[in-house]
Structure 1
Amino acid sequence: MSTPGPGGQGLQLTPFRGLRYVAERVGSLAAVTSPPYDVVVRPDGLRELETADPYNIVRLILPQADTPADRHRQAAETLRRWQADGVLAPDPEPALYVYEQRDAQTLQRGLIGALRLSPREEGVVLPHEEVMPHVVEDRAALMRATAANLEPLLLAYRGNGDVSGAAHVIERTVREKPLLSTTTEDGFDHHLWRLTDPADLVEIAADLRRHRALIADGHHRWATYLRLREEQREPGPWDFGLVLLVDTTRYPLRVRAIHRLLRRLPPVDALAGAGRAFRVRAVDGPLPHALDALAEATAAPGAGNAFLLAGDGRFHLLDRPDERLLAHTVPEERPEAWRTLDATVLHSVLLEHLWNVPDAPEHISYIHDAAAVVEQAERLGGTAVLMHPVCEDIVHELARQGIVMPHKSTSFGPKPATGLVLRSLTLG
Structure 2
Amino acid sequence: MTTTGTAEHGLRLIPFHGLRYVPERVGSLAAVTSPPYDVVVRPDGLNHLESADPHNIVRLILPQADTPEARGAQAARTLRDWLAEGVLSPDPRPALYVYEQRKGDLLQRGLIGALALSPAAEGIVLPHEDVMPHVVADRAGLMRATAANLEPLLLTYLGEGTRTGAAAVVEGTVAREPLLATTTEDGFQHRLWSITDPAELAVVTADLDHRQALIADGHHRWATYLRLQSEHSEPGAWDYGLVLLVDTARYPLQVRAIHRMLRRLPVAEALAALDGSFRVRTVEGPLPRAMAALAEAAERGNALLLTGDGSFHLVTDPDPELLDRTIRRDRPEAWRRLDATVLHAALLDHLWQVPDEPEQITYIHDTAATVEMAERHGGTAVLMHPVREEVVRDLARQGVTMPRKSTSFGPKPATGLVLRALD
With normalisation by structure 1, the TM-score equals 0.98
Query: Cα offset for 1:179?
Result: 0.7
Query: What's 1:283 paired with?
Result: 283
Q: Match for 1:306: what amino acid?
A: A
Query: Cα offset for 1:43?
Result: 4.1
Secondary structure of the equivalent of 2:118?
coil
User: Deviations along 1:176-206, whole A, 9 cap, x unmatched?
Assistant: 1111000011111000000000000000000
Q: Match for 2:20: what amino acid?
A: R
Contact 1:15 1:95 in 2 (8 A): yes
Stretch deviating more after TM superposition (244-253 or 35-44): 35-44
Q: Match for 1:293: what amino acid?
A: A
Query: What's 2:114 paired with?
Result: 114
Query: What's 2:156 paired with?
Result: 156
Contact 2:117 2:240 in 1 (8 A): yes
Q: Match for 2:151: what amino acid?
A: E
Task: Give the whole-Å Cα distance in 2 for the aligned partners of 1:130 and 1:235.
Answer: 28
Query: What's 1:411 paired with?
Result: 408
For residue 343 of structure 2, the aligned residue among 343, 346, 349 is 346
Report sequence identity in percent. 71
Query: What's 2:101 paired with?
Result: 101
Query: What's 1:72 paired with?
Result: 72
Query: What's 1:425 paired with?
Result: 422
Contact 2:16 2:420 in 1 (8 A): yes
Task: Give the whole-Å Cα distance in 2 for the aligned partners of 1:214 and 1:255.
Answer: 13
Query: Cα offset for 1:69?
Result: 1.1
Query: What's 1:400 paired with?
Result: 397
Q: Which segments of structure 1 move beyond 4 Å, counting only runs of 4 or more?
A: none
Quickly say closer, same or farther: Cα 1:289–1:131, change in 2 above 3 A.
same
Task: Give the whole-Å Cα distance in 1 for the aligned partners of 2:243 and 2:215.
Answer: 10
Task: Give the whole-Å Cα distance in 2 for the aligned partners of 1:55 and 1:265.
Answer: 38
Secondary structure of the equivalent of 2:39?
coil
Query: Cα offset for 1:275?
Result: 2.4
Query: What's 1:372 paired with?
Result: 369
Query: What's 1:182 paired with?
Result: 182
Query: Cα offset for 1:5?
Result: 6.1
Stretch deviating more after TM superposition (65-74 or 239-248): 65-74
Query: What's 2:353 paired with?
Result: 356
Contact 1:304 1:321 in 2 (8 A): no
Task: Give the whole-Å Cα distance in 2 for the aligned partners of 1:189 and 1:360.
Answer: 36
Q: Match for 2:373: what amino acid?
A: Q
Query: Cα offset for 1:4?
Result: 5.4
User: Deviations along 1:375-396, whole A, 9 cap, x unmatched?
Assistant: 0000000000000000110000
Contact 1:261 1:377 in 2 (8 A): yes
Secondary structure of the equivalent of 2:229?
helix
Q: Match for 1:34: what amino acid?
A: S
Query: What's 2:257 paired with?
Result: 257
Secondary structure of the equivalent of 1:38?
helix
How well do the aligned residues superpose, as a CA RMSD in angstroms? Answer: 0.9
With normalisation by structure 2, the TM-score equals 0.99
Task: Give the whole-Å Cα distance in 2 for the aligned partners of 1:417 and 1:425.
Answer: 20
Q: Match for 2:405: what amino acid?
A: K
Contact 2:10 2:119 in 1 (8 A): no
Contact 1:17 1:90 in 2 (8 A): yes
Q: Match for 1:6: what amino acid?
A: T
Q: Match for 1:383: what amino acid?
A: T
User: Deviations along 1:290-343, whole A, 9 cap, x unmatched?
Assistant: 0001001112xxx32000001111110001111111111110111001000000
Query: Cα offset for 1:46?
Result: 1.3
Contact 1:36 1:418 in 2 (8 A): yes
Listed as ranges, the gaps of 5+ residues in structure 2 are none
Query: Cα offset for 1:121?
Result: 2.7
Task: Give the whole-Å Cα distance in 2 for the aligned partners of 1:4 and 1:31.
Answer: 43
Contact 1:101 1:190 in 2 (8 A): yes
Q: Match for 2:283: what amino acid?
A: V
